[in-house]
Structure 1
Amino acid sequence: MHDTIRTYFNESIQIQVAAADTLAQPIQNAAQLMVSSLLNGRRVFSCGDGNSTFVAHHFTDLLLHGSRLERPPFPAITLGMNSTHPNQHECLSRQVSALGQSGDLLIAYVSQHHSDRVHQAMEAALSREMKIVAFTGEEAPEITGLLGPSDIEIRIPSSHSARIVEQQLFFSQLLVDLIEERIFQGE
């Protein structure tokens, strides 16, 4: 049991060290994009696959309620997957199509190699001229292939789903802290 515990800690630490070296600039770019969008009255939609759904909900909660500051809520919505419709695999994309507007943001959390629902939501976001920030692992080529030049990918250096989700949660907290710092400087 002791070896398993040490392995978990070591894997997480190694991913954090690798990410610190490679992801500082994409995270800064994502924070700047979100600050600009929020200051221009745009909305932030988030969604995820599998265990990353929790991260999408947590990220929205941080945007609505704040991280370190007591502040007004930011306009944020977590796209839900609860649907009784027979075509429930389209539930995320239909929400983006119905609610998304040009200039809004889609934050996509992908911890698996492939996610039809998130992929379709990203396609819908592109058709609505929304920008995308995608948190992926090393192996999400279909998600990466959808991103355009104004979109941002934060590619976590791991292919292990649980380690990817851990880092997504960490980066989501960091991103909201950076946004609050930038918008409410000195508060």
Structure 2
Amino acid sequence: MLDLRIQQHFIDSADLHYQVAEGLAKPVDAAVQAVLACVTGGGKVLTAGLGTSAGLAQYLAGLLVGGFERERPGLSAMALSADAQMASLWPEEQGLASQVRALGHTADVLFLISAQGAESALVQAVQAAHEREMSVVALTGQQGGVLARQLRETDVHVCVPHERVARIREVQQLVLHCLCDGIDTQLLGEQESF
């Protein structure tokens, strides 16, 4: 009964992946270089997002620490907490920024994930990272919102140019896989078979 609708989801997702592949290659490469410079220079990657994006941020931290598709030493990364216990310590908008101020250092990278880029807590986290002279990588959707406007020239913005959140998330997960593969390739060399 829903066969055609389900098939259309696959077709729409595949179509978007194909459409954005060329446009996202350079910003994803820039994100690889930023994260690689951080972890090889003694820094750590602080990942963050709100709601579903927090899950993707935790996923990225896990891939950096635990490895992607090949064995390698763990990279220094941690997901900042957006849970209720942390939120009770600070006003909601300041929770992530407070963690960036407490844990972030100049050599570190703040890696933010958002579908719209409209969350004030993420904007404040960017400001806190800039206060600490950290680099920021923002993985957003749509046009990147207020979050994208907070980025500096030295930061990296990877934007999935689509309006539908489900499609944005699908591409964002692939971007995280491309990021981790790029890091592993830089650290470990090319794999024999792709």
- TM-score bin, normalised by smaller chain: over 0.9
Which residue in 1 is equivalent to 2:142? 138
Which blocks of at least 5 consecutive residues in structure 2 are unaligned?
Answer: none
Give the 3-state SS of the residue equivalent to 1:163 in structure 2: helix
Identify which of 124, 127, 139 aligns with 1:123. 127
Give the 3-state SS of the residue equivalent to 1:23 in structure 2: helix
CA distance in 2, matches of 1:72, 1:101: 22
Counterpart contact for 2:50–2:82, Cα < 8 Å: no
How far apart are residue 76 of structure 1 and its match? 0.2
Which residue in 2 is equivalent to 1:102? 106
Which residue in 2 is equivalent to 1:90? 94
Higher relative contact order (CA 8 A, sep 6+): 1
What is the percent sequence identity of the aligned residues? 29
Q: Across the two proteins, how many residue pairs are aligned to each other?
A: 187
CA distances 1:12-60 after superposition (whole Å, capped 9, x unpaired): 1121012112111111111112111211111100011221111100000
CA distance in 1, matches of 2:159, 2:95: 25
Q: Residue 48 of structure 1 aligns to which amino acid in structure 2?
A: G
CA distance in 2, matches of 1:124, 1:163: 30
CA distance in 1, matches of 2:117, 2:188: 37
Which residue in 2 is equivalent to 1:148? 152
Q: Residue 44 of structure 1 aligns to which amino acid in structure 2?
A: V
Q: Cα 1:28–1:86, aligned 2, differ >3 Å: closer, same or farther?
A: closer
Give the 3-state SS of the residue equivalent to 1:111 in structure 2: coil
The answer to whether structure 1 residue 170 and structure 2 residue 174 are counterparts is yes
Backbone CA RMSD of aligned residues: 1.5
Give the 3-state SS of the residue equivalent to 1:47 in structure 2: strand
Q: Residue 124 of structure 2 aligns to which amino acid in structure 1?
A: Q
The answer to whether structure 1 residue 72 and structure 2 residue 73 are counterparts is yes
Which blocks of at least 5 consecutive residues in structure 1 are unaligned?
Answer: none
CA distances 1:69-104 after superposition (whole Å, capped 9, x unpaired): 222111101000122225133111100011101121
